[in-house]
Structure 1
Amino acid sequence: MSHTTKNAAGKVAIVTGGSRGIGRDTVLRLAARGVRTIFTFRSNRAEADAVVALTREAGAPGIALALDTGVASSFDGFVARASEALATMGADRFDFLVNNAGISSTASFTEGTEHELDAQFAVHFKGIFLLTQKLLPLIRDGGRIVNISSGLARFAFPNRAVYGSMKAAVEALTRYMALELGPRRISVNVVAPGPIATDFSGGIVRDNPQVNKAVADQTALGRVGLAEDVGPVIAGLLSDEFGWVNAQRIEVAGGIHI
């Protein structure tokens, strides 16, 4: 991860949920390309500081800002803090937005509650919708946005009815965003990871041998996914080489449930 992609150096990205898992890998992949990041974390400052240190080592220092993407009333304050962070980087606009922050849900359709629906909606749809809306004055014309979905928007799996449905909504939203932001030459795509071995959902894919094997057995490439399988795809979509890709869904899942 040592090369700098043409025209990437000096650009700035905002990545939500950037202190762990896929978000963390994305921040580090961008740093390796010379892209500075303002990334968010929800509560663990130590994790975020560790990522900041790694971005500094890569030569494209990042800034960590606390944000709960499920609390829309906090977005105006976040945009103000993001503006201040940009100023410390010598910038007044940013180039890339990665809407990655998410929370897990194991609610089935028959047992899903109003509380579960509201919590998932607040983070995965309302949060992406309103935060991106608030950030539009700060993103450059010709910028890029990547939303994060899930393979569960394409295939059904037990106890994922609420989560998978919200991610399907994100995929529809992505197309509408691409349409409406087209006049500003802002492309919007969605990346849909398959099951990934991180601490997401209690680390079940990573730490439960039975689940790990079951996923691997259903995947054409024969293993579960890793955060480092997904981060490079997100960073790649933000590069000049993918500038004509727009309103597309890219599943990064090793061929699960083909």
Structure 2
Amino acid sequence: MSVIVITGGSRGIGASTAEHCARLGMGVILTYKSNADAAAAVVQRIESSGGKAVALELDVADVSQFGRFRDAVRHNLDSLWGVATLAGLVNNAGHGLFIPLEAVTEAQFDGLLSVHLKGPFFLTQTLLPLMGEGASIVNLTSATTRVATAGVAPYAAFKGGLEVLTRYMAKEFADRRIRANAVSPGAIRTELGGGLNDEFEALLASQTALGRVGEPQDVARVIAMLLSEEGSWINAQSIEVAGGYFI
């Protein structure tokens, strides 16, 4: 049984990825920061379809929680699935902030840094002893690292850092055949940054070659592929999933 961890799995891309991976036969450990009910609903949908999942509370901005989280993951691997190792880790949890660069406060900057770069760095480090031979790491980045979008400078900068970190993970974990790739969504219909109103959605759709914004499942399918045997020869790559955004 292949068991994966997905951070921020209670909604949006994370929830869609959890459900899609479960349909492919993977066991899922998903995390949530505060919305236990939403996370429980994802678990219930997975279990009602014949899968197996568990939701664990985790604030990816708080590195002090990571040791306890690793212990909880180890316990659930053994008690629910009877295995000792993880087959995958999806560093997905995050939040957006739309504000001009000159108005960003140090607290806002540090909050985005902790969630989007520091957290994935140290969570991956903490879970590495549980990662099995040939496991897969998928880091969620953003098309804003390629297309400069006014108002998201710190978010994009840290996602860019995570994209670089992905290649270093692939390099340094190669002796254990652990792959690391980044998935870079474009405009997706999620709650990140407050969601999309009709006017903003129409603008983003007009800037996308396929004429629409993406849905969480558009991204989830690619993440699941990278976690599966079908993606076993893809490594150290950043894959933009954006329908042709600003080409």
TM category, shorter: over 0.9
Q: What CA RMSD, in Å, does the superposition of the two structures yield over aligned residues?
A: 0.8
Residue 111 (structure 1) aligned with residue 100 (structure 2): no
Residue 39 (structure 1) aligned with residue 30 (structure 2): yes
Aligned match of 1:225: 214
Identity of aligned residues (%): 45
Q: TM-score, normalised by structure 1?
A: 0.94
Aligned match of 2:2: 11
Deviation at 1:55, TM superposition (A): 1.1
SS at 1:43 equivalent: coil
Aligned match of 1:132: 124
Find the aligned partners of 2:46 and 2:83 in 1 and give their Cα distance: 18
Tell me which amino acid in the other structure corresponds to 2:29: I
Residue 86 (structure 1) aligned with residue 77 (structure 2): yes
Q: Deviations over 1:201-234 (max 9, x none)?
A: 111x2xx111000000000000011101110110
Tell me which amino acid in the other structure corresponds to 1:234: I
Deviation at 1:57, TM superposition (A): 2.0
Extract unaligned runs of 5+ from structure 2.
Answer: none
SS at 2:101 equivalent: coil
Matched pairs, number: 246
SS at 1:17 equivalent: coil
CA contact under 8 A between 1:151 and 1:253: conserved in structure 2?
A: yes
CA contact under 8 A between 1:39 and 1:63: conserved in structure 2?
A: yes
CA contact under 8 A between 1:34 and 1:59: conserved in structure 2?
A: no
Aligned match of 2:233: 244
Aligned match of 1:165: 157
Q: Deviations over 1:77-96 (max 9, x none)?
A: 11111111111121111101
Find the aligned partners of 1:74 and 1:249 in 2 and give their Cα distance: 29
Q: TM-score, normalised by structure 2?
A: 0.98
Deviation at 1:144, TM superposition (A): 0.4
Find the aligned partners of 2:85 and 2:124 in 1 and give their Cα distance: 14
Which one of the candidate residues 42, 52, 55 is aligned to 1:64? 55
4+ residue runs over 6 A deviation:
none
